[in-house]
Structure formats: structure tokens, C-alpha cells
Amino acid sequence: MNLTVVGTGYVGLVTGACFAEMGNTVTCVDVDAAKIAKLKEGIIPIYEPGLDALVTTNYREGRLRFSTSLEEAMDGSGVYFIAVGTPPGEDGSADLQYVLAVARQIVDEASCARVLASHDEGVSRASYAAFLREQEGLKARRPRCC
């Protein structure tokens, strides 16, 4: 299965590496070009026991890819995990604008999106329900493809 993980930080990189190790083809996307360049060189920006080996092996064997372009990663991907940051807003609650901006781009541009998932405990079911209602017209127009 082809998967895309958006946000290649603590959550996204570990998620991507583990899904690749399970045999999936995973593209990890990040807006931080320096981080993506380092990952392609095998330089892992975080420490998690065993992660280096998972990342380097799966990258070398082509199951794990890195990109700064979500658009490029969407080619052939049907499952998306959103793992971008949710900084605290003025009232201390999680600011969801970055998560929802990525979700909108996926809904708007992906030829095929089966699952939209987030690791963020701050993204409540109600937030996603509101988002999906907002996108209802668009979804209704798109033929099912995967």
C-alpha cells in the first residue's frame, strides 16, 4: 500500500519508518527542506532506539521516501497521516490551523484519499466532522477511485 505521512517530526518519522518496515511504500513529507535533505543522507534528526536502522534500511530498499512536496507524494497514495505541529493558541488550546490546511490540500488535490488520519489528540472528532461537512460538496463530486 502507498502511504503519505505529512510532517516528519517525532511522530511522523517514526510512523513512516514503521509502516515502511511492514512492507508499505511510504513518502514522508516535510516543509523543512534541510531536514528532508539530511534524512536522504541518512542523518536522523531525533533519537529513538532502533530508528536509525529502520530509516536507513527502508530508505535504501525504496520503501521509505522523503520529499518536500505534498503534491508529488500524492501521486499514487491513497492513505494520508497528518503529523504536523499544533502549537498552543492564545487560550492554550491546540491550534489546528496547520493540520486542517494540510487536510484541505489533500481533499482538494488528491485524486484518491481513502483515509485521513491525525496523531493529534487535540484534533477532536468534532473538528474533523466540521471539516468533512465543509468538504462535502467536493467529495460528492469526486468519483471513487480506490
Ligand X SMILES: NC(=O)c1ccc[n+]([C@@H]2O[C@H](COP(=O)([O-])OP(=O)(O)OC[C@H]3O[C@@H](n4cnc5c(N)ncnc54)[C@H](O)[C@@H]3O)[C@@H](O)[C@H]2O)c1
Between 76 and 88, CB nearer to ligand X: 88
Smallest gap from Cβ 29 to ligand X, in A, equals 5
Q: Is 4 in the site for ligand X (CB under 6 A)?
A: no
Q: Which stretch binds ligand X (CB under 6 A): 17-25, 27-35, 54-62, 108-116?
A: 27-35
We find the least distance from the C-beta atom of residue 46 to ligand X, in angstroms, to be 7
In the window 41-80, what residues touch ligand X (CB under 6 A)? none
Identify the CA nearest to 99 among candidates 112, 88, 90, 86. Answer: 86
For CA atoms 69, 78, 128, 5, the dihedral sign is: negative
Query: Please, which of residues 94-123 interact with ligand X by CB under 6 A?
Result: 98, 102, 119-121
Pick from 79, 83, 100, 110: which binds ligand X (CB under 6 A)?
A: 83
CA distances from 44 to 5, 47, 61 (A): 16, 7, 17
CB-CB contact of 70 with 29 (8 Å): yes
Please return the burial class of 36, using the count of CB atoms within 10 Å of its CB with bins 0-12, 13-18 and 19+: middle
| The residue type at 9 | G
CB of 98 to ligand X, least distance (A): 5
Give the helix/strand (H/E) hosting 70: helix 70-73
Q: Which part of the chain contacts ligand X (CB under 6 A), choosing from 17-25, 51-59, 83-91, 137-145? A: 83-91
